[in-house]
Amino acid sequence: MNHDGKKESLENENLEIRMLLEAIHQKYGYNFKDYANAHTKRRLRHRLNISNMKNYAQMMHRVIYDETFFNNLLLDLSINVTEMFRDPGFYKKIRQEIIPLLKTYAFIKVWHAGCSAGQEVYSMSILLEEEKIKHRSQIYATDFNELILEKAKNGIYPLEVMKTYTGNYQQSGGKKDFSDYYTADYHNVILRQSLKEKVLFSSHNLVTDGVFGEMNLILCRNVLIYFNRQLQNRVLKLFHDSLCPGGYLCLGSKESLKFTDMEDRFEPIAGQEKIYRKKR
Ligand SMILES: C[S@@+](CC[C@H](N)C(=O)[O-])C[C@H]1O[C@@H](n2cnc3c(N)ncnc32)[C@H](O)[C@@H]1O
């Protein structure tokens, strides 16, 4: 194929991918349209090859009519980017403003919804430990991607990300030396076993599965961003029903309750950090 031919075939492929992502958004509410990047393309190509389809137009047809196929594709596409103490200012706020209130409770239940490979969960475990309330806490950590949940349970991360995690921890008001929390070999760090105590990992799909009872704190950060308004409303209702009165809901930095059905049922506690409290 000459240069022009190659260019045209690439453009056609991109067009088909955009149409496929549009179909997914319209039919199921998941929005990957802003992620029509190299990662998405690689995952779609992989699925195309193993499914013996000729092109994305065929895949689009299959997505529309075959929900099981869509669910597998969804796992391929789901974006798992995460960090320990991601957005350090958020963790600082939790430490300074939410923990003192949680300390007044006899027992504390925390739910990480869409926990990815567990970094957010272990960050919370460290925080609760340092604030001396972990012994009376229970952390539930869920994701719909079984493979990523396995990684979360292992708590083993590449050595090269530790610099970022350490910086985040320090900025978030961490009280110790971050290296107290792991052992390292040449390539990886293994988080201390004690950080896994009080953590229960389980599979849970926010769109199709039910409530978790009487939570004091729910973190669902950088997940709703991929859902359309209808799905967001459904998931936010689930969080509302899962929280005890006065419980806290934390969203990602680009997410908000504004213009959702739940806007009036929560009061904003920290606007910038996206921390909300369920009204009594
Ligand atoms: C970008 S990561 C966010 C991880 C972490 N909360 C953070 O903010 O660093 C999004 C996670 O949401 C999960 N997810 C997406 N849709 C989901 C759904 N319907 N039910 C449960 N988890 C979902 C993905 O598998 C992924 O691990």
Q: What is the mean pLDDT of the chain?
A: 94
pLDDT digits (tens, 9 = 90+) for 95-111: 999 999 999 999 999 99
Q: Round to whole Å and give the CA distance between 4 and 162.
A: 45
Q: State the closest ligand 1 atom to the C-alpha of 220, by its place in the atom list counted from 1.
A: 6
Pocket mutation for ligand 1, best pick of 40, 71, 76, 116 (most atoms within 8 Å of C-beta): 116
Q: pLDDT class for 9, splitting at 50, 70, 90?
A: confident
Right CATH for 88-278 from 3.40.50.150, 3.40.50.2000, 3.50.50.60, 3.40.50.300: 3.40.50.150
Ligand 1 center from residue 199 Cα (angstroms)? 17
Q: What is the pLDDT of residue 184?
A: 96
pLDDT digits (tens, 9 = 90+) for 172-212: 999 999 999 999 999 999 999 999 999 999 999 999 999 99
pLDDT digits (tens, 9 = 90+) for 142-159: 999 988 999 999 999 999
pLDDT digits (tens, 9 = 90+) for 161-174: 999 999 999 999 99
In this structure, the residues whose C-beta lies within 6 A of any atom of ligand 1 are 78-82, 86, 114-116, 120, 143-145, 148, 205-207, 221-223, 252
- The structure's pTM equals 0.92
pLDDT above 60 for 36: no
Pocket mutation for ligand 1, best pick of 72, 143, 235 (most atoms within 8 Å of C-beta): 143
Q: State the closest ligand 1 atom to the C-alpha of 227, by its place in the atom list counted from 1.
A: 16
Closest residue by Cα to atom 8, ligand 1, is 221
**pLDDT (average), residues 273-280:** 97
Ligand 1 center from residue 116 Cα (angstroms)? 5
The 3-state secondary structure of 186-253 reads CCEEEECHHHHCCEEEEECCCCCCCCCCCEEEEEECCCHHHECHHHHHHHHHHHHHHEEEEEEEEECC
Q: Sheet holding 199-203: strands in order across?
A: 199-203, 137-143, 108-113, 215-220, 243-251, 275-278, 266-270
Ligand 1 center from residue 115 Cα (angstroms)? 6
Residue spans of the domains in the chain: they are 3-77, 88-278
Q: What is the pLDDT of residue 2?
A: 76
Ligand 1 center from residue 114 Cα (angstroms)? 3
Pocket mutation for ligand 1, best pick of 39, 74, 78 (most atoms within 8 Å of C-beta): 78
Residue type (1 letter), 24: I
Q: pLDDT class for 35, splitting at 50, 70, 90?
A: low
